[in-house]
Amino acid sequence: MDLIRVILSILLPPLGVFLQVGFGMHFWLNILLTLCGYIPGIVHAIWIIAKK
């Protein structure tokens, strides 16, 4: 399941974070990071998935 989350995080970072933690602080932070730049959103999403 983590592999699917990582692939989704590369395509759409907030979706991968949502599947991992739901509508929490990390989800909204990831949306903000993705809007500021696509790469920071991906890095944050991968970090959240790898951490849990």
Q: Using one digit for the tens of pLDDT, what is the confidence trace for 14-33?
A: 999 999 999 999 999 999 99
Which pLDDT score is estimated for 36? Answer: 96
Alpha-carbon distance of 23 to 3, in angstroms, equals 21
Using DSSP's 3-state secondary structure scheme, residue 21 falls into helix
Please say whether the dihedral angle defined by the alpha carbons of residues 32, 47, 16 and 23, taken in this order, is positive or negative: negative
How much is the pTM?
0.90
22 within 8 A of 35, measured Cβ to Cβ: no
* pLDDT at residue 2 in the model: 80
| Domain parsing of the chain, residue ranges | 2-51
